[in-house]
Chains A and B, each alone.
Chain A
């Protein structure tokens, strides 16, 4: 087995491109938070404690003062439910990890370092040092870039002028493209978009999030089974 130092370095090497890509997204997130009245300290806390980009962008979109705690927690839960499957898939590969190491590792498990670790496990045993290499600086990078964005965001002025208010819409479209699985996703997206927009116009925020999400999930449930199931995997 390789030295832990070398394992760590290889993890860091594998996560580096995703880390660089996360910097402008983190800066933007911090600036959007500043636009909603969050302080840099609050943004740093959220990045460090929640560490889930998609859920954090969704939260800042529905954020208002005082913070709607239940709505924010529900939106965060729905967006992060995928972690359950990610963790269930990675757990059998964490053979050399102590229970404490597992508990700490999943705290910093994100889409990117999860994917790197899954790929690594195909070739050789996944080590604590490798996982730490993909996770620790990636986590710190997110906390720092979002905090810097919040510090600079108050100087940026109206985000609408630079089109920054549309940036998370564009980011989410890009993220959805990454989850694309053909017609099933198209039906989900259409149902979610129409239900969300209709509820937003008629009942107002924040109900559009739950309405759209449930409509999209229901559409996928209705479609499911008819399509390529396990056989396509």
Chain B
């Protein structure tokens, strides 16, 4: 069971910033009054970050991945999370098999 030193440092850094985000809310009660544009920007963070991570796979990997993205997004409007993942994986396998 090997644990690389740099990997361990990365995991500890991730754990530290994550706990900081979790515990910060306890001290912000009543002090965090976001409104208007600032609130809109804060609310946008999860979607903006998640999309930024997958955009290369969605738009810069090939026609099969881009078409599978469209299929998956359509599935996401009506299916639960697990089914969305299943549809996404199945569609990319099928589109690659078609030679796209």
Does B41 lie at the interface of the complex (its beta carbon under 8 Å from any beta carbon of A)?
yes
Which B residue's beta carbon lies closest to that of A106? B22
CB-CB contacts of B12-41 with A at 8 A, as 1s and 0s? 111111111111111011001001111111
A48 to chain B, nearest CB (A): 9
The interface residues of chain B lying within 8 Å CB-to-CB of A167 are 85, 88-89
A78 to chain B, nearest CB (A): 5
The interface residues of chain B lying within 8 Å CB-to-CB of A195 are 52
Which A residue's beta carbon lies closest to that of B17? A77
B40 touches A50 (CB 8 A): no
Number of residue pairs A-B, CB distance < 8 angstroms: 323
A200 touches B60 (CB 8 A): yes
Which A residue's beta carbon lies closest to that of B5? A66
The interface residues of chain A lying within 8 Å CB-to-CB of B29 are 88, 91-92
The interface residues of chain A lying within 8 Å CB-to-CB of B46 are 54, 79, 82, 175-176, 179
A87 touches B40 (CB 8 A): no
Cα–Cα distance between A79 and B46 once the two chains are bound (Å):
6
The interface residues of chain B lying within 8 Å CB-to-CB of A200 are 55-56, 60
Cα–Cα distance between A209 and B55 once the two chains are bound (Å):
9
With A192-B52, A220-B40 known as contacts, the answer to whether A85 contacts B84 (CB < 8 A) is no
With A41-B1, A169-B54, A172-B53 known as contacts, the answer to whether A24 contacts B82 (CB < 8 A) is yes
Which B residue's beta carbon lies closest to that of A229? B36
The interface residues of chain A lying within 8 Å CB-to-CB of B15 are 46, 49-50
Does A136 lie at the interface of the complex (its beta carbon under 8 Å from any beta carbon of B)?
no
- Return the 5 tightest CB-CB contacts between A and B, nearest first: A87-B25, A170-B88, A224-B40, A212-B52, A216-B48
How many residues of chain A are within 8 Å of chain B by beta carbon? 108
The interface residues of chain A lying within 8 Å CB-to-CB of B22 are 80, 83, 87, 106-107, 109
Partner of B14, one of A46, A87, A103, A170: A46
The interface residues of chain A lying within 8 Å CB-to-CB of B6 are 65-67, 69
A45 touches B52 (CB 8 A): no
Cα–Cα distance between A91 and B22 once the two chains are bound (Å):
11
Cα–Cα distance between A62 and B41 once the two chains are bound (Å):
24
Cα–Cα distance between A58 and B48 once the two chains are bound (Å):
12
Cα–Cα distance between A51 and B42 once the two chains are bound (Å):
22
The interface residues of chain A lying within 8 Å CB-to-CB of B76 are 173-174, 176-177
Given A61-B54, A69-B9, A173-B54, 12 other A-B residues pairs in contact with their CB atoms under 8 A = A21-B80, A39-B1, A42-B8, A73-B17, A106-B19, A162-B89, A163-B92, A166-B89, A169-B69, A194-B59, A197-B58, A213-B48
